[in-house]
Amino acid sequence: MANQAKKASAQSKKISNSVKVAGIQMASSPQVSSNLIEAERLIAIAVKQGAKIVVLPEYFCMMGFKETDKVKVREKEGEGPIQHFLAKMAKEYKIWLIGGTVPLTSNFPKKVRNSCLVYNDKGVQVARYDKIHLFGLDLGTEHYHEENTIESGDSVVVVDTPYGKIGLSICYDLRFPELYRAMGEVDILVVPSAFTETTGKAHWECLLRARAIENLCYVIAPAQGGYHLSGRETHGNSMIVDPWGVILDRLPRGSGVVMANLNRDYQASLRNSLPALNHRTIKAI
């Protein structure tokens, strides 16, 4: 029994109760190489300020002129300059790096998987989430149909880290709370995104705060923010939200970093005071 207690104690010490995290905001161009240079500049800023977890936005590596441009730069899992870059940054800066999204090969020659990749501080890929919900919008002059160039994923992904459990999601997933419920009790949700300005100004903040509140967890939401060469405008407003729905940091537009300290003791106290997760009576429909 004593040995078991020691093992349990040692295991608990592996989980840090406080960690500084960062979300990177970009206005990515069609050029992969220039975007990687910009991403490294921003990662370095975050690390200099003490970040141990850094999350890049959706399409950090490229926002093309056309939706089909991402198919041209797709990579096989574990191969290619974008994934090499992510592994190198994680190892070099000794951080857990969540690579927004990377276009990976799919079962269809004219489509990609829009994949969120997680690297540990040794530069090893430890998790992959393929975007499940594909964005579709026909509103005025704006038309988006991700199903034309993306093959959807079908698996919910949660990754264990030294800083707690992190649930992975991407952009349009934010509108589907059942995805987050399917993750179980996680400590952090990440939502790398490229919300349009139209939908973002209407719903981005309220959806992020809702996901944080209903799951009593922290949310890191790095985004694309600005005008792109394709003519597309993304909403920006990257933010980090605490389990009570308080916005800890926000960046309205342009390249930059949002940062905050995540405190798991504070999170635990909220869950003890308001045990809503234990009060659920409808588990599934």
Identify the band that residue 57 occupies on the pLDDT scale cut at 50, 70 and 90. very high
Helix then strand count (H, E) for the chain reads: 8, 16
Highest mean pLDDT among 11-15, 109-113, 226-230: 109-113
Catalytic position from the list 58, 75, 146, 197: 58
- Correct CATH for 19-273 of 3.40.640.10, 3.60.110.10, 2.30.110.10, 3.40.630.10: 3.60.110.10
pTM: 0.93
* Residues counted in the chain: 285
Amino acid 260: pLDDT: 98
Task: Tokens 């940054």: give the residue.
Answer: 89
pLDDT greater than 90 at residue 50 = yes
258 bridge partner residues: 23
Quick: pLDDT tens for 115-174: 999 999 999 999 999 999 999 989 988 888 999 999 999 999 999 999 999 999 999 999
Alpha carbon separation from 265 to 17, 202, 279 (Å, rounded): 6, 33, 21
pLDDT greater than 50 at residue 31 = yes
- Name the percent of the chain lying above pLDDT 90: 89
pLDDT greater than 90 at residue 283 = no
> Cα 100 to chain center, whole Å?
5
Quick: pLDDT tens for 7-18: 433 443 457 789
* Mean pLDDT calculated for residue range 50-55: 98
Are the C-beta atoms of residues 234 and 228 closer than 8 Å to each other? yes
Q: Is 131 a catalytic residue?
A: yes
Catalytic position from the list 111, 146, 151, 171: 171
pLDDT greater than 90 at residue 253 = yes
Backbone angles phi, psi at 60, to 5 degrees: -60, -30
The DSSP annotation for 146-196 comes to: GGGTB-------EEEETTEEEEE--GGGGG-HHHHHTT-S-SEEE--B--B
Q: Is 197 a catalytic residue?
A: no
Catalytic position from the list 38, 61, 131, 217: 131
Residue 174: exposed, middle, or buried by beta-carbon count in 10 A (0-12, 13-18, 19+)?
Answer: buried
Q: How many CB atoms lie within 10 A of CB 164?
A: 20
Half-sphere exposure of 118 (CA within 13 A, CB side): 22
Q: Residue ranges of the domains in the chain?
A: 19-273
